[in-house]
């Protein structure tokens, strides 16, 4: 068994969820935190500086956009200067000329009189300070989930991201292959996390949520027969058809574009193999895909639901998953399970 503790961090668009676990400790007694997501924290800082009329300089690494992108564009809209390094600017678009067209000035050094903000998905020093305040030793191992669309300056990044899921299904769709320590070079967000935390286990946050939901007792009962897992995140909704150790289908949409009625209508046809990729993409979602050997005769009707926006699916004929009694940490539990599996330890957290 590995020495020291493991920190699992699920970085979303609304929250960053943190779980610290070590062998011999019950899950219930692990350190658990649900904090504002890095993009939300940076957005609040930008908004404060906008209100103060301060010019800003953005440095650091590419991270998840969303809230911070909106805040930067509002800052520019107020006639206030925004300077940024190229690496920081990739947070807003894969095309730097597009960011410059907004009015962002690219530079490697901050001009005089600006306030410097550092971008990044992982705040190691912030974590260190919080844990030290409570006499919690800093972890030795890390597993982090982020949603990486992939660097694709030409064409649709929605389409590019989903092509990765299509390739995953074509290559067998194994649950074990959802985690990696060596992400593809086009996953620049994951690469940025690995620069800060060498040796980190990385996983797509949507997949981490699915993997964690499968630890729920109700999900485990149906795993060999087949089930659907829906992860309703703050930014994205992700569903997977799962049986045994494989994903047989993947669906991904933007949560803000879904109503309960639309979500259920699409998921019901997804379970039957009748939902098309074109329909989801044209609806401004990411897509829908099935394994090459998927059969509509197989049943994935039993449905478990997780995610911070799960109430969107409250009327659906499914059950709310709460692995170890804590739905908000489903992604973290999935990350820990993946870490244990990659290290060749049994992946059932309850065994430790």
For residue 310, give every residue at least 6 positions away whose Cβ sits within 8 Å of its Cβ, in sequence order, or none: 232, 320, 327
pLDDT at site 84:
99
- C-alpha–C-alpha distance, residues 151 and 148, integer Å: 8
- Residue entry with tokens 């004929």: 317
pLDDT in tens, the chain (352 residues): 678 899 999 999 999 999 999 888 889 999 999 999 999 999 999 999 999 999 999 999 999 999 999 999 999 999 999 999 999 999 999 999 999 999 999 999 999 999 999 999 999 999 999 999 999 999 999 999 999 888 877 777 778 888 888 999 999 999 999 999 999 888 999 999 999 999 999 999 999 999 999 999 999 999 999 999 999 988 889 999 999 999 999 999 999 999 999 999 999 999 999 999 999 999 999 999 999 999 877 789 999 999 889 989 887 888 999 999 999 999 999 999 999 998 888 657 766 6
Q: List the alpha helices (DSSP H) in the chain.
A: 38-52, 67-77, 86-89, 96-102, 124-133, 157-170, 188-196, 205-213, 217-222, 260-271, 277-282, 330-342
Q: Is 320 helix (H, G, I), strand (E, B) or coil?
A: strand
Let me know: does 286 contact 158? Beta carbons within 8 Å: yes
Strands 82-84 and 56-60: parallel
Q: How crowded is residue 185: how many other Cβ atoms within 10 Å of its Cβ?
A: 10
Token pair listed for 200: 């980190």
pLDDT at site 347:
59
The model's pTM is 0.93
Query: Which residue from 248, 250, 216, 209 is spatially nearest to 338, judged by alpha carbons?
Result: 209
- Residue entry with tokens 């992400």: 183
Q: Running DSSP on this structure, what letter comes out for residue 111?
A: P
Let me know: does 173 contact 248? Beta carbons within 8 Å: yes
pLDDT at site 315:
79
Token pair listed for 105: 């000035």
pLDDT at site 2:
74
Token pair listed for 70: 């909106």
């Amino acid at each position: 068994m590995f020495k020291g503790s493991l920190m699992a961090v699920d970085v979303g668009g609304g929250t960053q969820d943190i779980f610290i676990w070590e062998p011999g400790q019950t899950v219930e007694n692990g350190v658990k935190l649900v904090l504002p997501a890095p993009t939300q924290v940076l957005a609040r800082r930008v908004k404060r500086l906008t209100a103060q009329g301060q010019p800003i300089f953005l440095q650091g690494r590419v991270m998840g956009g969303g809230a911070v992108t909106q805040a930067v564009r509002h800052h520019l809209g107020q006639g206030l200067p925004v300077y940024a390094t190229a690496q920081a600017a990739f947070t807003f678009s894969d095309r730097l000329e597009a960011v410059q067209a907004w009015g962002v000035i690219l530079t490697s050094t901050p001009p005089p009189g600006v306030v410097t903000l550092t971008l990044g998905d992982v705040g190691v020093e912030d974590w260190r300070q919080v844990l030290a305040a409570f006499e919690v030793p800093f972890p030795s191992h890390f597993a982090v989930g982020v949603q990486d669309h992939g660097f694709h300056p030409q064409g649709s990044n929605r389409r590019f991201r989903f092509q990765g899921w299509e390739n995953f299904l074509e290559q067998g769709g194994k649950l074990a292959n959802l985690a990696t320590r060596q992400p593809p070079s086009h996953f620049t967000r994951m690469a940025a996390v690995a620069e800060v935390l060498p040796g980190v286990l990385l996983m797509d946050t949507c997949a981490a949520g699915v993997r964690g939901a499968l630890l729920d007792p109700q999900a485990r009962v149906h795993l060999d027969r087949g089930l659907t897992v829906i992860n309703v995140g703050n930014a994205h909704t992700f569903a997977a058809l799962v049986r045994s150790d494989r994903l047989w289908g993947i669906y991904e949409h933007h949560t803000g574009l879904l109503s309960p009625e639309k979500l259920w209508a699409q998921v019901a046809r997804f379970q039957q193999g009748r939902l098309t990729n074109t329909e989801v993409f044209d609806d401004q979602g990411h897509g829908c895909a099935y394994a090459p050997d998927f059969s509509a005769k197989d049943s994935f009707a039993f449905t478990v639901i997780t995610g911070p926006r799960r109430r969107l699916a409250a009327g659906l004929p499914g059950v709310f998953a709460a692995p170890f009694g804590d739905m908000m940490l489903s992604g973290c539990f999935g990350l820990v399970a993946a870490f244990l599996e990659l290290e060749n330890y049994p992946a059932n957290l309850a065994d430790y």
